[in-house]
Structure 1
Amino acid sequence: MLEIERKFLVTSDSYKKEAFKNNRIVQGFLNTNPERTVRVRIKGDQGFITVKGISNEAGTIRKEWEKEITLEDAEMLLELCEEGVIDKMRYEVNAGNHIFEIDEFFGKNLGLVVAEIELSEENETFLKPSWLGEEVTGQVKYYNSQLSKNPYQLWKK
């Protein structure tokens, strides 16, 4: 399956009032090689394993494969992950015909808030909420796999 996605910084917390759903997410990476990232995630009481391929030059398109696994398997696999677990709250917000997923990070990534939108085609138009800031699509440092190795709070140093 192809994932077509754009990523933005968030300028205020007004998205929280617009959210129709939120979930705590804890995730780790079995492999952070950009050509084939392997992620283990616990979202609420569900476990998932995901493999993502390398992005196109613009950073908008890449292959993605995901399967639900048991919570117990996800907890066990998290123990095998590379150092740097990601902890975040994900908010989902309707905007026109799309849903933005806004991730508010904790731990060593505290202070970072990023919004993502999945599209059906690379140049698809979409409604941009007032809290949507600078686009960071394709900037590798904002990939969760990279945030696990080089956390946001270290960028300022």
Structure 2
Amino acid sequence: MRKLVVFVAFMSFVALTACGGKETPVKDVNSTEVSVGAETDSKDEFDVNKIKEIFENSVLGEKDKITSLSFENGEIKGVIEIAPNKLLSAKDLAVTSYSRASDALLDKEGWEVLTIEFVKVGNVSMKRSEKETNEHNMDYFPTEKIKERLK
């Protein structure tokens, strides 16, 4: 067990060291230069590519996949296929995924509605104005509301 803890600590150090490197500029579909890893709250830079990156880094499980993703008129719409899990039901996974998506997006400006359809499970849609704020001044959508809306 001790070897496992040491290995995990070492790998965490390696991962953090690797992330500290120079940011690499990339081009998005609109041909505006964006720095990978740079935080942005500008409405001009918040687009479907940034949303996809957020979903891939914060929302999706290893075998989950995005079937479609769009961002129009302030509404983010996504369709996600959740991979089966032996420990959690598909509904629990959908609630968790929606919660992680909203947590990652609520500190970004430029959107008003988050709608995610979970294939063969249901969909959830919430307006940004329905967010709540916890004691650490962090915005979130309550899990119970997400569960109620999952249809």
Q: Structure 2-normalised TM-score?
A: 0.27
Q: Considering fraction of residues, name the structure with more helix.
A: 2
Max Rg structure: 2
Q: Considering fraction of residues, name the structure with more strand.
A: 1
Q: Structure 1-normalised TM-score?
A: 0.26
Query: Which structure ranks higher in relative contact order (CA pairs < 8 Å, sequence separation ≥ 6)?
Result: 1
